[in-house]
Structure 1
Amino acid sequence: MNKKFLLIIAAALIIISSGIYAYTYTTATGTLGTPTPTGDIATVNATANQPGWNDVLTTANEDIIYRPIGIGDETAIKSQFPASGEHWDKVDETTSDNDSTYLYTPTTNYEEDLYITANHSTQTAGGDIQYVEVFMVSRVILSAELNSAYVHIKTNGSEYNGASENLSTSYALYSNQWNINPQSSSSWTWSEIDDLQTGVAMRKAGPAIDSRCTQVYANINFDAPELNGNTPTDDLFEITVNDDYDGNLQVRVYLTNTNDLLKAYDNLSMYLYLESSEEAGKTPSYQLMNLQNGIAIFNLVGISGGSYTLSVTGGTYQLFSREISEWEAGWTVTPELYCEAEQR
């Protein structure tokens, strides 16, 4: 993404025969009504180093957990404890409650449950899905003679099972990972995650050996930009003042592409700092520029030539969402800044 920085020569310095300095200001069509200047009062140039605006798009690898919130397409497991309520609310807890709530079955054949989960929010998840892993916390009441439980999913109308597990007599965590959608043989999509049903299947692990399940959940691993963070920092402009100039300058910085930034950011603040300015000696020492004000003004007072660097020293941002594909066309994360300096 290109970074655009617009430069302006704010004033020209000329020397007349009497030795007194006179000033004339440039316009879009040129300098009017003066002899040829011998130099500029000040020039403004973009610095070689610039903030790494694209850093806000750097992806982070994260996990998000989805737990049952309702009945899915199957509720076939025979029994639950306690008897009141629904199957899904016996396995939805954030921390396993062991035998306080669970599903169980004494039957010989596998019985399956499926549960729905909440839709994802692009404020918390988005980007590329690396894998889906479904977990169950299960046990048997006596030493198992048979494999007796597996995790179970339904996606795009088709059902798939994890490996059949030989359960221990203490609750333990078992899982199966799908790196791609087994129905489409392609990477998972977030719409498929929204429609995914997760569950468990159980049978008895031998004569009079019931299987139990107390918790089911899905972990989605994904890569996406962070929703918010610290504004990238570095130098922006170098204001170089003519060695023959003594006096005051006002430096103004304008944000010129707010509309396109609002397609990517919910908010963006930049702490702008101009060394040796009046503002640099105050608290705070920076001028705040954001998507609402779009301007920062600095004053260089009593200067005699010299070079002065204007920088971004801090700030914060929040993106519109973590799913770039839903951003409006024409978005950018790179501010376009226009800087001018003129005699005050």
Structure 2
Amino acid sequence: MDLEPEQLQYLRIPSILRESVGIPGRSPRTFFLITLTLVFPLSFAILAHSLFTHPLLSHLSSRSPSHDLTLILTFQSFYLLFLFTFSLLSTASVVFSVASLYSSKPLSFSSALSSIPSIFRRLFLTFLWVALLMIAYNIVLVAFFVVLLIALDDNNPLLVLLSLSVILFLFLGVHVYITALWHLASVVSVLEPVYGLAAMRKSYELLKGRVWMGWSLVFWYLFICGVINGLFGGVVVHGDEYGYGIFMRILVGGLLVGILVMVNLIGLLVQSVFYYVCKSYHHQSIDKLALNDHLGGYLGEYVPLKSSIQMENLDM
């Protein structure tokens, strides 16, 4: 489907999903290899994590609890490092690949991988600012959980209701919004000459007028991931407790990993398309030649100095 820039701003969520799902078909080998080498390990780690932590938590030794806790903390540290690394790698490769297709730049798996080292630093600095924002968010969230516990202990129904309402608002409102801000800022960090706090500010500006759409996309992504994790925990991790055989657990586990791989890939594609939708909504154009030059800079190609990326005709 070929859409003019002015048409992009009118796209709704079903259309964004259709556009996103159709992108891999334009370079199937590249996206297959990206999925296999980056998105699959990320998705597998997310689900398999509980397979390793559950036995560790269940068999904490009473004779050496400090040793077991050290083992758990070490495992968690390596897991978070792996998760963080592959999340940024997947984002860098997918956003670069989608932008290359939109700017008519030749795309291959090797070119997508070659772009990662330059993009990774930008995404990392943007993530640091998001992490600071999430730390502040979690401090507030924990504070209201403490208030909730105090209210329950004091049997104060009004304070319980108030604290629960705030906690619900923080999770469904603030947490989802920050996640949408982060995902859009990640795309900005790749496609525009800004990153870090500047990318967060640009993301904030782009989300204006499209907050509800961004919130909905992130909410349903998190909801689907939550359902997949819940099913994996119930059937695969704790399946023996409910009478599920090993064959059933392996079958369901493999199926859920495959579904999560597709969900994560589509999520990465959606955040790229959503960026173009937001740009179009604010009547900000992108010059395909300028974008081509900008992407070439990640591959060591000559890039003329440009103060901004402007956009004109975008084929979707």
Same-fold call, TM cutoff 0.5: no
Higher-Rg member (1/2) = 1
Greater RCO structure (CA 8 Å; 6+ sep): 2
The TM-score, its normalising length taken from structure 2, stands at: 0.23
Structure number with the higher helix fraction is 2
The TM-score, its normalising length taken from structure 1, stands at: 0.22
